Chain A
Amino acid sequence: AQSVTQLGSHVSVSEGALVLLRCNYSSSVPPYLFWYVQYPNQGLQLLLKYTSAATLVKGINGFEAEFKKSETSFHLTKPSAHMSDAAEYFCAVSVNSGNTPLVFGKGTRLSVIA
């Protein structure tokens, strides 16, 4: 069975600083990996996804993530944090066999300090 671990339930960065949110996965077969963002009182929105094409995936709002099989990681980064990036971020994994439900990590809350 697949699983996801997000390191750090809360990350705080200064505006303009690098954002790094960590995600490690466990899967016995090649995975699909996703990052979702949740703003207050809203549902989750897709930021980006990895589907075995390019290992560096670019998403919306300047975010990107790199798939590293050797490290079983899919960390999310953004070079310069903006106040509007403050939200909860979820990493999720699925397997390469149809519409298997996503398994989500517990989430990381990102705070951006002015």
Chain B
Amino acid sequence: DAGVIQSPRHEVTEMGQEVTLRCKPISGHDYLFWYRQTMMRGLELLIYFNNNVPIDDSGMPEDRFSAKMPNASFSTLKIQPSEPRDSAVYFCASSARRDNSPLHFGNGTRLTVT
């Protein structure tokens, strides 16, 4: 399997622009997670899905952030409008439907908002 695939790897945008991050989970995995990593806060869970349904979005910082999972093989995280404080590395991860199954992470999208 190719693993979790994220695109783009790097995104540089200006404040106020819309940003869309994409994720393809590992085939057969029922859970998908979006994390944000910064120096100050470390890894923060933003939202996670089970069978394409959002289960917990309490980590989404503001209404500017939204996430969708239209099918089992694709998810997006959108920021509109973007702000400089959104600059971070955003990770997508997936896991199988088993207790204590490990997370498989993508290589992340490094977002820079100027």
Query: Which chain A residues have a beta carbon within 8 Å of chain B's beta carbons?
Result: 32, 34, 36, 41-46, 49, 51, 90, 94, 96-99, 101-107
Interface centre among B42, B45, B48 (most CB of A within 10 A): B42
**Taking A44-B103, A94-B100 as contacts, is the C-beta distance between A101 and B4 under 8 angstroms?**
no
Contact of A43 among B48, B97, B101, B107 (CB under 8 A): B107
Contact of B105 among A41, A44, A97 (CB under 8 A): A44
**Taking A101-B48, A101-B56, A104-B43 as contacts, is the C-beta distance between A43 and B99 under 8 angstroms?**
no
Please give, as numbers and ranges, the residues of chain A lying within 8 Å of B106 by CB-CB distance.
43
**Taking A43-B105, A99-B31 as contacts, is the C-beta distance between A51 and B4 under 8 angstroms?**
no
Contact of A101 among B45, B97, B105 (CB under 8 A): B45
Bound complex: CA of A36 vs CA of B104, how far in Å? 10
Please give, as numbers and ranges, the residues of chain B lying within 8 Å of A46 by CB-CB distance.
102-103
Please give, as numbers and ranges, the residues of chain A lying within 8 Å of B50 by CB-CB distance.
99
A43 near B91: Cβ-Cβ < 8 Å: yes
